Structure 1
Amino acid sequence: MTRSMPRWRWRWSPVGNPLRRRSDVVQACTSLLVAAVVLIGAPVTSAVTYDDVRDSLRATAAEQTRTGHHITVTLLQDSPKHPYPRSSAAGKARYPVRVRYVAPDGTEEIALADVRASLRAGTSVRVWAGADGKPTDAPLDADGVHGRAVGLAGLSGMAVVLVGVIVHLGVRRALDRRRMAAWDRAWAESAPK
């Protein structure tokens, strides 16, 4: 009574499968290697990216907070109405509107500033100004830093997966071409003339 070898061992055994070609082994080994690199590399890349981006954004936000300040601006036009004024997003939404403000040198300037929805022209609001005294975006808060860091970390992890897929498909295509060329040569040698 003979015991049969499990199917996975038969495929990988150096002597067990007479139909296995060298290119099959190369393709299988490459697939395993790419899978291992992707399974290890994607989370590691994401974690490193998250830490780096978070630290960078925190430093930038701290610098902007240290050098910036609030200024009062006057709207020169009505700000747009939010399409869903009763939604939770309506209070957080900001729209770019032309405003007038007094620059640090005392001159009146006109610029774009992001303000809440549904404000009338002539309304005075406080906006964030950079070190140069011009209206700009407020520094990111902790949630903004976290959100951007998570987004970029996810993109970096997906990039590792994408590179792995491209490498796998490239190797597979190259091996398929070699197999087709070998079959063409073998057919040319054995075909009736």
Structure 2
Amino acid sequence: MGATRHRRPRAHLHPARWLGCRLRNGNPLRRGSDRAEGICALFAVLLLLVAVPVTILIGLNIAASRSSAAARERAERQPATAVLLANAPDSIGVAAADGAAGSVPVRARWHVGDQARTGTVYATPGLHRGAQVPIWLDHRGRPVAAPPSTTQVTMSSAGTGLGLLFAIVAGVGAAWLVLRWLLDRARLAAWEREWRRVNPHGNHWVR
């Protein structure tokens, strides 16, 4: 039977021990670059720990602000029903600022009190003439976008907060990778200088 190969076990340090080895003053193997790496790692961890509650507070503030704006819009706008005066196109066009996504502009008629008005509203593609479409009107009786619902405000605010948190994490991660690359280059250069000092002629070891 052939000889069994034994793999050399890989050393894995707990993150706390890894950090302690780089920050502890009594470590004889600690280099200046190790200490700088440990300090930056500690700063990055603290920054991420602070970023979580900060982004939560920012998200809550954004949600409160958007909820107030949506409440004002609901108070300033009123729902109504429009009757289409033409068939809605089958193809989805580009909705304007006051049109919902996936809707098409169609001529329609609606009432403001006892007064009938006509204009352009946005409806689902394929609707036929005479179909009733729910719309929202401003204080002048003109069609406007529907105010955002509570669910939309919550989802939008949560998305903003998560996006901010992801940007912070990505920025810290990118900075950490750049720092490690610079430190590794500095360590390699220091190792080469030390090797030249020990072996100035560049001789190879002979076994």
Distance 1:134 1:186 in 2: 79
In structure 1, which of residues 99, 107, 113 is the aligned counterpart of residue 106 of structure 2? 99
Report the Cα offset of residue 131 of structure 1. 4.4
In structure 1, which of residues 140, 144, 147 is the aligned counterpart of residue 152 of structure 2? 144
Distance 2:166 2:71 in 1: 30
Deviations 1:122-172 (A, max 9, x none): 312221133454433311222222121112111122122112212212222
Report the Cα offset of residue 22 of structure 1. 0.8
C-alpha contact (below 8 Å) 1:79/1:120 kept by paired residues = no
Tell which deviates more after alignment, 119-128 or 30-39: 119-128
Aligned equivalent of 1:39 = 49
In structure 2, which of residues 67, 72, 95 is the aligned counterpart of residue 63 of structure 1? 72
The structure with the largest alpha-carbon Rg is 2
Aligned equivalent of 1:52 = 61
Report the Cα offset of residue 38 of structure 1. 0.3
C-alpha contact (below 8 Å) 1:128/1:136 kept by paired residues = yes
Distance 1:45 1:77 in 2: 51
Cα distance change on mapping 1:107 and 1:171 into 2, 3 Å: same
Aligned equivalent of 1:171 = 179
Aligned equivalent of 1:3 = none
Distance 2:141 2:188 in 1: 68
Tell which deviates more after alignment, 123-132 or 53-62: 123-132
Q: What SS does structure 1 have at the residue aligned with 2:170? A: helix
Q: Give the alignment's TM-score, normalised by structure 1.
A: 0.71
Higher relative contact order (CA 8 A, sep 6+): 1
Percent of residue pairs identical? 22
CA RMSD of aligned residues (A): 3.3
Aligned equivalent of 1:162 = 170
Report the Cα offset of residue 188 of structure 1. 4.4
Report the Cα offset of residue 61 of structure 1. 0.7
Aligned equivalent of 1:15 = 26
Distance 1:185 1:121 in 2: 84
Aligned equivalent of 2:95 = none
Cα distance change on mapping 1:131 and 1:49 into 2, 3 Å: farther
Distance 1:114 1:191 in 2: 82
Equivalent residues in 2 for 1:81-92 (5 A)? none
Q: What SS does structure 1 have at the residue aligned with 2:143? A: coil
Report the Cα offset of residue 118 of structure 1. 6.2
C-alpha contact (below 8 Å) 2:59/2:157 kept by paired residues = yes
Q: Letter of the aligned partner of 2:27 in structure 1?
A: G
Cα distance change on mapping 1:131 and 1:175 into 2, 3 Å: farther
